[in-house]
Amino acid sequence: VINAGKSQHNEDQACCEVVFVERRPSPRGRLTSREGCGELDGVRAAEVKGFYFHYWALFDGHAGSGAAVMASEKLHVHICEQLRDLVDILQDPSPPPICLPHGPGDPTRVSVAEDEGEVPNDAVPRFHLEKAVSHESLVIGAIENAFKHMDDQIERERGAQPLAGGCRALAAIYLMGKFYVANAGDSRAIIIRNGEIIPMSREFTPETERQRLQFLALLRPELLGKEFTHLEFPRRIQPKELGKKMLYRDQNMNGWAYKKIEEDDLKFPLIYGEGKKARMMATIGVTRGLGDHDLKVFSSNIHIKPFLSCFPEVRVYDLTQYEHCPDDVLVLGTDGLWDVTNDREVAGVVMEVLTSYEPNDPCRYTMVAQELVVRSRGVLKERGWRLANDKLGSGDDISVFVIPL
Amino acid sequence: VINAGKSQHNEDQACCEVVFVERRPSPRGRLTSREGCGELDGVRAAEVKGFYFHYWALFDGHAGSGAAVMASEKLHVHICEQLRDLVDILQDPSPPPICLPHGPGDPTRVSVAEDEGEVPNDAVPRFHLEKAVSHESLVIGAIENAFKHMDDQIERERGAQPLAGGCRALAAIYLMGKFYVANAGDSRAIIIRNGEIIPMSREFTPETERQRLQFLALLRPELLGKEFTHLEFPRRIQPKELGKKMLYRDQNMNGWAYKKIEEDDLKFPLIYGEGKKARMMATIGVTRGLGDHDLKVFSSNIHIKPFLSCFPEVRVYDLTQYEHCPDDVLVLGTDGLWDVTNDREVAGVVMEVLTSYEPNDPCRYTMVAQELVVRSRGVLKERGWRLANDKLGSGDDISVFVIPL
């Protein structure tokens, strides 16, 4: 991670952890505890059951580092919490039960799960229509909800500590042979396997999420505070253009068509600009992320939430399905990297640096990450920081993980 | 097209046309007409300007063939109407104007477009932020709006004639070197080029559109008439299960998680079932299409629209970007084909049949289409219609176009 000058302090944060997911203590344990029989520790220790997951995450903060710092300290804890109820279910090879007799930690469950010595499981279809749900989709659901809980915590605690701003979040969780890559924002993850590039995320920006945002604005116009129109136009309309015909598109369209300009079209478009300059409500360039609960449109009382969503998209890569060599890696990077170095160039640097080290040298992956950061920063010349191709280097914070597969 | 027995009459309809898009008569022409100078015909004839498009479309009707018949007679007319305003713009290689001085057919436009002898064009950016819009995206917008106008026409005219029911619509438009494939429903288009399969559409079903539908239901709960919940569950919940925990997912989730069952969860799920049995509001298995304006949930006053959308997704294939041989084709088929014959099998039949005819035999493509239909129907054996692999043949209407590229 480096700060390349855009902000005074680094607003990128990173976290890397090995987390043990301990099965929630059973109610019987709690009962024993309350009864104070003194053997609790021994009983509890024997009951400790769980699994590990490996975790890497990048948080690209904006308007301060508060949200990014808190998310880097807590997101994996929320993921762990969501997984704790699933310890028995994920370790059981049979399909997850559709319905649990009662909630985990509920005495009724104990009578089934522990007194009969088995995990409750009603996976045998009892109805004509019953959808099979995989273990994998339970992990995805746990990660999705963990992002929501993380966002809620930032909202709750933002009064007590400096938590202004927000952050994009990109997390890679390795669990039971699979990588789960969760992305909320415009960071990016790619796998490079045998020289091939496999995208493991997509960016959430006003452009990529235009239709979702326009749909919400159409259905809940009060969220726009009479300042914005849900229609997109290729540029601002001037009052004197009333009655002329202009290109537009709405929530149903991917193409463009002409419409006669009406009074309402003079409002500012919900989505405006393109590429790195695209903005939602003239305020923010990403549409997913954590925090930003107090973010409003400049000099107005219009909130950016709920247009800004905290939910990630989770992609899964099954490591057991492929052979991997020491040069196969998962690269996570914030936009400080990707704005100036594309997928193909990143793959080139990975290949180049890895081959200059012994395959069993543990430093080689760190060296790739450093090299990616340094090349994206560029070198200071008379005309500013320049890349090898003489283009301007990234002025944004740059963070990179290179994870051997 | 064949009827394979599911309904008494064929509910699939097809259309294939070469359509001339004539530039709208100029207002000057109309003025001349009104002034009755008598030279109108000569003047108008000299003014005729336009272009052709080639058009193939399949309409898979349900609950009657009325909507499918009307759409097969009129959709290309609506596409033509949408394109008429774009004749000058699409034939001009410079980027489309963002803003037209005044609407086509408006006298002010004439003074610019014809008196100065050129197409109005303000494409030179006059503002810092001005999005470039391609000719291609104008055609896409025209097709999208044509589907909407088609749907509106069915709504308007359904009183006067038997237009109950609705239809899925799949249309391929060849225009200025590009194929535009527009799909609203669960028909499918694929290109087979040099043995490679290129998907040209995706299916719109309760499963593929779940999140859009759940989002709409959450924001407009009154559309559910207190009968449905926007949450998805793997099966119906029984009243006695209140308080237990069950798998669910909402509009933000792709994974699944457990929630405590509450009173509200006993309502019927908006999306229910999987695969061919998936239904929206327990009523319909597709989520895009034309017609169905009177379709309601059984014995209720709950309308399926606006959950059912008439807008297509349009994909573009640029024929000029690739070399094509006589065996490269675009295949359009209704679900009667795809339910029993997958992409790979269709490609196999295409290859097999085409190679048995001379490359310049114009019948060879028709023979492929016939063969695809016949093989998907199967042959009548003692235990019903059977495919070559002894599986049950398609009982649905089956329609196929095979179009040489």
Question: How does pLDDT run along chain A (405 residues), one tens digit per residue?
Answer: 888 777 888 899 999 999 999 998 866 544 443 333 334 455 555 567 899 999 999 999 998 889 999 999 999 999 999 999 999 999 999 999 999 986 554 544 433 333 344 444 444 444 457 889 999 999 999 999 999 999 999 999 988 776 779 999 999 999 999 999 999 999 999 999 999 999 999 999 999 999 999 999 999 999 999 999 999 999 999 999 999 999 999 999 999 999 999 999 999 999 999 888 999 999 999 999 999 999 999 999 999 999 999 999 999 999 999 999 999 999 999 999 999 999 999 999 999 999 999 989 989 999 999 999 999 999 888 888 899 888 888 888 999 999 999
The structure's pTM equals 0.89
Hey, is A193 helix, strand or coil? strand
Helix-helix angle B364-377:B343-355, to 10 degrees: 130
- State how far the Cα of A190 lies from the Cα of B227, in Å rounded to an integer: 44
Residue B75 near residue B171 (C-beta atoms within 8 A): yes
Selecting from B98, B138, B244 the residue whose C-beta is nearest the C-beta of A100 gives B244
Residue B162 near residue B69 (C-beta atoms within 8 A): no
Q: Which two tokens stand for residue B15?
A: 């259309």
Nearest CA in chain B to A83: B257
- State how far the Cα of A369 lies from the Cα of B349, in Å rounded to an integer: 50
- State how far the Cα of A353 lies from the Cα of A375, in Å rounded to an integer: 12
- Listed in sequence order, the residues at least 6 apart from B55 whose beta carbon sits closer than 8 Å to its beta carbon are B15, B16, B17, B18, B19, B76, B79, B171, B172, B173, B174
Residues with pLDDT less than 50, chain B:
29-40, 105-127
User: CB contacts < 8 Å between A and B, how many?
Assistant: 171
Is there a contact between A246 and B103 if contact means CB atoms under 8 Å apart?
Answer: no
Q: What is the pLDDT of residue A9?
A: 80
- State how far the Cα of B254 lies from the Cα of B148, in Å rounded to an integer: 30
Residue A329 near residue A402 (C-beta atoms within 8 A): yes
B2-24+51-96+134-204+310-404: which CATH topology? Phosphatase 2c; domain 1 (3.60.40)
Selecting from A138, A235, A255 the residue whose C-beta is nearest the C-beta of B131 gives A235
DSSP A40-96: HHHHHHHH--EEEEEEEEEEEEESSSHHHHHHHHHHHHHHHHHHHTTHHHHHSSSPP
Hey, is B192 helix, strand or coil? strand
pLDDT digits (tens, 9 = 90+) for A142-174: 999 999 999 999 999 988 776 779 999 999 999
- State how far the Cα of B187 lies from the Cα of B185, in Å rounded to an integer: 6
Selecting from B96, B103, B256 the residue whose C-beta is nearest the C-beta of A137 gives B256
Chain A, window 83-142: residues with a beta carbon less than 8 angstroms from a chain B beta carbon: 85, 96, 98-104, 127, 129-133, 137-142
- State how far the Cα of A311 lies from the Cα of B252, in Å rounded to an integer: 7
Hey, how many other C-beta atoms are within 10 angstroms of the C-beta on A78? Answer: 21
- State how far the Cα of B171 lies from the Cα of B182, in Å rounded to an integer: 5
Measured between beta carbons, which residues in chain A are less than 8 angstroms from residue B207?
Answer: none
Q: What is the pLDDT of residue B28?
A: 54
Measured between beta carbons, which residues in chain B are less than 8 angstroms from residue A143?
Answer: 255
Nearest CA in chain A to B277: A129
Is there a contact between A252 and B138 if contact means CB atoms under 8 Å apart?
Answer: no
C-alpha A22, offset from chain centre: 24
Tokens 């395959």 sit at which residue?
A359
Q: What is the pLDDT of residue A256?
A: 98
Nearest CA in chain A to B126: A235
- Listed in sequence order, the residues at least 6 apart from A160 whose beta carbon sits closer than 8 Å to its beta carbon are none
Is there a contact between A249 and B82 if contact means CB atoms under 8 Å apart?
Answer: no
Measured between beta carbons, which residues in chain A are less than 8 angstroms from residue B82?
Answer: 257
Is there a contact between B129 and A277 if contact means CB atoms under 8 Å apart?
Answer: yes
DSSP B290-339: EE-TT-B-TTS--B-TTTSB-PPEEEEEEGGGS---TT-EEEEE-HHHHT
- State how far the Cα of A305 lies from the Cα of A301, in Å rounded to an integer: 12
- State how far the Cα of B253 lies from the Cα of A175, in Å rounded to an integer: 19
C-alpha A236, offset from chain centre: 32
Is there a contact between B260 and A235 if contact means CB atoms under 8 Å apart?
Answer: no
- State how far the Cα of B231 lies from the Cα of A185, in Å rounded to an integer: 25
Nearest CA in chain A to B275: A131
DSSP A242-276: TTSEEEEB-TT-SS-EEEE--GGGGSEESEE--GG
Chain B, window 255-284: residues with a beta carbon less than 8 angstroms from a chain A beta carbon: 255-258, 260, 272-274, 277
Nearest CA in chain A to B255: A141
Burial of residue A260 (number of CB atoms within 10 Å: 0-12, 13-18, 19+): middle
Beta-bridge mates of residue A403: A330
Q: Where are the domains of chain B?
A: 2-24+51-96+134-204+310-404, 209-285
Of the candidates A336, A32, A23, A383, which has an alpha carbon nearest to the alpha carbon of residue A185?
Answer: A336
Burial B142-176 (b: 16+ CB within 10 A, else e): bbbbbbbbbbebbbeebeeeebbbbbbbbbbbbbe
Of the candidates B356, B389, B393, which has an alpha carbon nearest to the alpha carbon of residue B373?
Answer: B393
Nearest CA in chain B to A148: B252
Selecting from A216, A246, A311 the residue whose C-beta is nearest the C-beta of B252 gives A311
Q: How far apart are the first and last CA of chain B?
A: 21
Q: Which two tokens stand for residue A175?
A: 């669990």
